[in-house]
């Protein structure tokens, strides 16, 4: 049997499609990727769409098996495919989250936090890097400690790609983070109400020698531009990096992203210096305008997108 796999919009390897690929290859089927011209000429077609604004692209494939968070939040892989471990140095050791953040689809899609596997289930045995897509691995302390132990023993550099929950940091957990090879640690500063917990987390990290991390800063959901800038300025003052996540695609957030998301610029100049540069003055009008109401259909493709699955 010939199988066609179409990945509409994933930004990183699509784990669900990789499982599907391995399932069919193990059965001896032929697997073809991305060749839309072959649609209708193969026995089975799978289509994945991650971002809701691209759903129309998947709808063109009438007789395909379709899924992904851009299609719906209920379609799941069959158990015989979902259990497959493709060992592509990317995936989950836990699924779900207990936070129920109103801007995030993880709770609705995946439910309570639960163990999925471990680091070695993802590792190909050769690579020095593994990307973890867990949404809140610190919520299961024993699982986090196991992953760190496996990373140390196998000299694996870990990328906690979706960030870590700064509210769950303790001195012991920070020491574990310090003990492993890692990509820059990421956390989230989603709302001004978290100022005190963010300050505590940075103090704790820096005391143990983790001096600079990167912080996702959610904008366009339930904060004003002034509140957004205050959070970003604070992170810069604390020698942290930031990444602006736009819940809605509106022009007033363009200068924030251009400033903060380019770390060399963010560290080199504060907001006032940046926005008063000649090429950025056209954006000044947005700083004095009221932030728009939330438009869930216009959310940014990088805003809490549920890990490409």
Q: How many domains does the chain have?
A: 2
**Residue 190, in any domain of the structure:** yes
Least confident of 149-153, 199-203, 236-240, 269-273: 269-273
Read off the pLDDT of residues 69-96 as tens digits, 9 standing for 90 and up: 999 999 999 999 999 999 999 999 999 9
**Residue 50, in any domain of the structure:** yes
**Residue 152, in any domain of the structure:** yes
Do 249 and 148 lie in one domain? The reply is yes
**Residue 197, in any domain of the structure:** yes
At 251, is the pLDDT very low, low, confident or very high (cuts 50, 70, 90)? confident
What range defines the domain where residue 213 resides?
Answer: 87-298
Kindly provide the residue ranges of all beta strands, DSSP E only, lying in 247-300, ordered along the sequence. none
Do 62 and 145 lie in one domain? The reply is no
> Model pTM?
0.88
**Residue 118, in any domain of the structure:** yes
Give burial (CB, 10 Å; 0-12/13-18/19+) of 289: exposed
- Mean pLDDT of all residues in 123-148: 98
Read off the pLDDT of residues 181-215 as tens digits, 9 standing for 90 and up: 999 999 999 999 999 999 999 999 999 999 999 99
Closest C-alpha to 221, from 187, 198, 244 = 244
Closest C-alpha to 214, from 230, 223, 201 = 201
Do 49 and 147 lie in one domain? The reply is no
Residues present in the chain in total: 309
Do 190 and 248 lie in one domain? The reply is yes
Mean per-residue pLDDT of the chain: 92
């Amino acid at each position: 049997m010939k199988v066609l796999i179409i990945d509409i919009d994933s930004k990183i390897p699509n784990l669900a499609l990789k499982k599907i690929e391995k399932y069919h290859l193990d059965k001896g089927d032929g697997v073809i990727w991305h060749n839309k011209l072959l649609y209708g000429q193969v026995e089975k077609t799978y289509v994945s769409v991650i971002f809701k604004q691209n759903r129309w692209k998947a709808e063109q494939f009438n007789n395909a098996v379709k899924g992904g968070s851009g299609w719906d939040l209920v379609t799941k892989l069959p158990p015989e495919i979902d259990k497959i471990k493709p060992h592509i140095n990317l995936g989950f050791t836990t699924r779900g989250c207990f936070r129920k953040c109103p801007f995030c689809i993880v709770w609705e899609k995946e439910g309570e936090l639960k163990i999925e596997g471990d680091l070695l289930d993802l590792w190909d045995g050769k690579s020095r890097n593994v990307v973890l897509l867990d949404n809140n691995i610190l919520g299961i302390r024993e699982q986090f400690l196991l992953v760190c132990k496996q990373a140390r023993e196998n000299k694996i550099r870990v990328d906690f790609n979706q960030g870590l929950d700064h509210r769950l940091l303790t001195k012991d957990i920070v020491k574990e983070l310090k003990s492993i090879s890692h990509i820059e640690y990421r956390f989230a500063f989603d709302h001004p109400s978290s100022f005190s917990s963010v300050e505590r987390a940075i103090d704790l990290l820096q005391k143990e020698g983790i001096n600079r991390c990167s912080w996702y800063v959610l904008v366009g959901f339930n904060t004003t531009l002034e509140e957004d800038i205050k959070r970003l300025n604070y992170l810069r003052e604390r020698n942290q990096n930031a990444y602006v996540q736009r819940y809605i695609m509106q022009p007033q957030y363009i200068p924030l992203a251009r400033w903060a998301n380019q770390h060399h610029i963010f560290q080199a100049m504060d907001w006032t210096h940046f926005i008063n540069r000649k090429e950025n003055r056209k954006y000044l009008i947005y700083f004095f305008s009221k932030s728009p109401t939330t438009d869930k259909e216009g959310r940014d493709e990088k805003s809490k997108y549920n890990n490409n699955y």
